[in-house]
Amino acid sequence: MSTTIHKETPHIKPKGVEIAETILLPGDPLRAKFIAETYLENAVQFNSVRNMFGYTGTYKGKKISVMGTGMGMPSMSLYSWELIHVFGVKNLIRIGTCGAMQEHMNLYDIVFAMGASTDSRYVHQFNLPGEFSNIASFALLEKAKKTADQKCLPVHVGNVLTSDIFYNADETALEKWRKMGILCAEMETAGLYMNASYAGVNALTILTVSDHIIRNEQTTPEERQVAFTNMVEIALELA
C-alpha cells in the first residue's frame, strides 16, 4: 500500500488523500475525471494543481487511482517520476489515443505497446554506454492481452513511436518509421517506460486508434467514447 500522507510536490498535492499503487494515466485530465465518476466507487480527488485532476477510489474492491498527465514526454515523465519516487506508485498504465501507421489496422483497434521507439533524447540523462530498448512490463502486458481476448476485442501488440513532434517539418519521417513495422504514433510512452525501468516498477501503455495516418481516416469525439471505454475497462482489470 502506498503511503502518501503529508507528501506533496510542486505539481501533485494530495492533502492527505492516498494515491494507490496502481494508477491509470490518460493524457486528458477530463478523462481522468470521467473514469473516476463512471467506474470508481468512493472516488476522492487527490490533485487539482494546474487542473491536472487525480482521483483515488476502488474498482471491484481494489484500490486504484487515475490522473491526467498532459501531452508529450516532458509532461508524462515529470508526473510519472513524482508518482513513482515520491508517492510509491508501482503499476503505471497509460491509456490514450494514437494514429495508426499500418494498413492492417483499423479505427477503434486497441494497441498494447510492447515497445516504444522514439525520436526524443530523454534517455541521454542516464548516460548509458549504448542504445536502450523501451519495453513494457510483461506481467501487465500478459494480463491485458488475456483480458482483451476474453472480451473478444481486436488488439495489436508491438512497437509504437513516441514522438516529440506533432507537426513534423520532415514529411518523410513517419514513412521511415512505418517501414520498420511501427504500429502507431503517440507522444508519451517512451518516457514512461524509461522512468519505470530505471525505478524497477511496472508500466504499460494501452492505446485506442483514433485516426489512421496512412488512410487519412479520423473518428469524431463522440465515436471515440465507446472505444475509449473498452480500453479503460481493460486497464481497470490490471489493478
Give the Cα separation of 9 and 178 in Å (integer): 39
- Residue 35 CB partners (closer than 8 Å, separation 6+): 24, 26, 55, 66, 232
Residues acting as catalytic residues: 211
Q: Which run of H or of E encompasses 92?
A: strand 91-100
Give the Cα separation of 62 and 180 in Å (integer): 40
The candidate with the shortest Cα–Cα distance to 45, out of 17, 23, 11, 25, is: 17
Secondary structure letter of residue 135 according to DSSP = B
C-alpha cell at 168: 513534423
